[in-house]
């Protein structure tokens, strides 16, 4: 049964990838990942950085079954196959690896990110394929084991969308057409460290404290404005500093200037790249923004993470992605 495949397979060792160097330009990327075999080889090099090891018997040689995206152990009498895409966001996808790689590359290197419309044009795929690719990649952006924020953290609340004419500032929250958001940003001197953003149901103490506990290391100093929703932080084990309006950081009148800036950038990005997003999918767009923000110094790591390498995260099927049923949803009051 395997014979037809084996005839076209070649016996080889994993060539160590060139330090998994990141292609610096689009042209370089095209050359590096020109075809399915090159992409498959990259996946193999990520999986076995020290060379192939059969997970069953430890043998170090394999047949490459490029068309099946698998490697088969070459030990005499054994035929154990390892899928190159298992445990990654690409698993069981019929889309060519080259398309996946392109999408991941554009998503990690372009600061603005890409829309499905742009990807459709650039990769010559259907809109549906482009949309699904991007959403599957976005779902690979939250590593289950990611480390919590620490040190000094700014936390602030905001909202997006639901613009109601004639209402200003927090009056926009009347009738709650907007989506509520919470953001936390590490303060490293006057610079911004890692960030987290979540869609939340309300600004209550319970919600704010739960967000902090899920995202911020206990004992961390948390700076916020004086909103009462933050009052549970001390009891939850944080050093809470509710600040008055005033100069916390030189040259800034904001209580939480870094959180403000991060939220401003995020809102601009949502508007500029997507011209607004649906409320159901908002959380994955926040995840995308945070993902790129947290890896802005290391696009190579971002590229690898995005292809699901080492995250062990199973890809979400279309039915779930389309309805966003794997995301937390909060009732919107009319």
Q: Contact residues for Zn ion (CB under 5 A)?
A: 54, 56-57, 59, 73, 75, 78, 80
Closest CA to 274 of 197, 165, 160: 160
Q: How far is the CB of 129 from Zn ion (least distance, A)?
A: 35
Q: Decide whether 61 or 91 has the Cβ nearer to Zn ion.
A: 61
Partners of residue 195 on adjacent β-strands: 185
Smallest gap from Cβ 153 to Zn ion, in A, equals 48
Which residues are CB-contacts of 206 (< 8 A; sequence separation ≥ 6)?
A: 232
Beta-carbon contacts of 193 under 8 Å, excluding residues fewer than 6 positions away, are 149, 151, 185, 186, 187
Rounded CA-CA distance 257/40 in Å is 44
Rounded CA gap, 147 and 217, in Å?
9
Q: Which is nearer to Zn ion, 78 or 296 (CB)?
A: 78
Q: How far is the CB of 70 from Zn ion (least distance, A)?
A: 13
CA neighbor of 293 nearest in space, from 111, 104, 25 = 111
Q: Smallest distance from the beta carbon of 79 to Zn ion, in angstroms? A: 8
CB of 20 to Zn ion, least distance (A): 25
**58 or 189: CB nearest Zn ion:** 58
Nearer to Zn ion, 72 or 109 (CB): 72
- Residue 2 Cβ vs Zn ion, minimum distance, rounded to whole Å: 14
**How far apart (Å, rounded) are the C-alpha atoms in residues 81 and 140?**
25
Give residue for tokens 């919470």: 182
Looking at the DSSP bridge assignments, the partners of residue 63 are: 11, 72
Residue 76 or 246 with smaller CB distance to Zn ion: 76
Nearer to Zn ion, 57 or 167 (CB): 57
């Amino acid at each position: 049964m395997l014979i037809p495949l084996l005839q076209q397979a070649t016996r080889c060792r994993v060539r160590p990838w060139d330090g998994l160097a990141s292609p610096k330009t689009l042209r370089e990327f095209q050359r590096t990942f020109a075809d399915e075999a090159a992409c498959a080889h990259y996946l193999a090099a990520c999986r076995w950085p020290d060379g192939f090891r059969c997970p069953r018997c430890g043998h170090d040689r394999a047949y490459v079954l490029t068309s099946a995206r698998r490697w088969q152990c070459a030990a005499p009498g054994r035929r154990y196959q390892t899928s190159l895409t298992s445990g990654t966001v690409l698993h069981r996808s019929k889309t060519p690896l080259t398309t996946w790689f392109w999408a991941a590359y554009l998503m990690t290197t372009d600061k603005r990110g890409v829309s499905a419309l742009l990807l459709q044009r650039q990769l010559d795929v259907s809109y549906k394929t482009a949309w699904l690719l991007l959403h599957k990649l976005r779902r690979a952006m939250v590593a289950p084991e990611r480390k919590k924020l620490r040190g000094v953290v700014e936390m602030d609340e905001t909202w997006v969308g639901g613009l109601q004419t004639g209402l200003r500032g927090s009056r926009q929250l009347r009738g709650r057409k907007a989506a509520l958001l919470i953001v936390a940003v590490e303060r490293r001197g006057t610079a911004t460290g890692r960030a987290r953003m979540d869609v939340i149901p309300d600004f209550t103490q319970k919600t704010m404290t739960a967000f902090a506990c899920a995202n911020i290391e206990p004992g961390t100093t948390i700076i916020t404005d004086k909103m009462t929703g933050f009052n549970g932080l001390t009891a939850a084990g944080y050093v809470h500093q509710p600040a008055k309006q005033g100069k916390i950081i030189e040259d800034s009148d904001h209580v939480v200037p870094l959180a403000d800036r991060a939220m401003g950038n995020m809102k601009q990005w949502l508007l500029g790249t997507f011209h607004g997003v649906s409320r159901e999918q908002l959380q994955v767009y926040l995840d995308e923004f945070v993902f790129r923000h947290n890896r802005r110094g290391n696009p190579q790591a971002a590229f690898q993470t995005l292809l699901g390498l080492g995250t062990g995260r199973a890809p979400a099927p279309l039915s779930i992605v389309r309805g966003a049923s794997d995301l937390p949803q909060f009732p919107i009051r009319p």
